[in-house]
């Protein structure tokens, strides 16, 4: 049986979608193929890498990718984690379930390093709760 594919989509593919990719991969324990991309990719934020490392998930090897890399591919679930990505998300083939999670951009938070890391932790934890619910509701049955 082929694993279902999840694409986590954001604008820059630098924070929310990168954390989502890492969390989906960790929580699904290989039950899904997981990718992330951006409508205007940039680079993975060091704050995202740091707060994921705090919970034992290493995303330092992930890279920002354009959603164009996935055009024409069969994707089972497209999870948009920002409103701009939802609004500019390309059309995927029939059968793709689109899910939208409107999440604040932690990269937009100004202030000290600790204040910025706090914003990344808060968004990481919000994504984590949603990922756990998604996995619980949609994970392939254990065999």
Is residue 6 among the annotated active site residues? no
Is residue 82 among the annotated active site residues? yes
Catalytic member of 6, 15, 57, 82: 82
Catalytic member of 33, 40, 55, 89: 89
A 10 A CB-CB count for 27 gives: 18
- In angstroms, the CA 19 to CA 1 distance is 27
As a three-state string, the secondary structure of 17-70 is HHHHHHHHHHHHCCCEEEEEEECCCCCCCHHHHHHHHHCCCCCCCCCCCEHHHH
- In angstroms, the CA 100 to CA 45 distance is 22
Is residue 10 among the annotated active site residues? yes
Dihedral sign, CA of 102, 75, 2, 34? negative
Catalytic member of 6, 7, 10, 57: 10
Which residue numbers are catalytic? 10, 82, 89
């Amino acid at each position: 049986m082929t694993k279902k594919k999840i694409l986590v989509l954001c604008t820059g593919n630098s924070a929310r979608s990168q954390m989502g990719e890492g969390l989906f991969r960790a929580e699904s324990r290989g039950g899904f193929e997981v990718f992330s991309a951006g409508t205007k990719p940039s680079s993975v934020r060091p704050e995202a890498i740091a707060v994921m490392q705090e919970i034992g998930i290493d995303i330092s090897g992930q890279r920002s990718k354009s959603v164009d890399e996935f055009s024409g591919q069969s994707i089972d679930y497209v999870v948009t984690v920002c409103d701009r990505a939802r609004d500019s998300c390309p059309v995927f083939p029939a059968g793709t379930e689109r899910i939208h999670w409107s999440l604040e951009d932690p990269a937009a938070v100004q202030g000290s390093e600790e204040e910025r890391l706090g914003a990344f932790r808060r968004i990481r934890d919000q994504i984590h709760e949603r990922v756990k619910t998604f996995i619980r509701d949609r994970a392939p049955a254990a065999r």
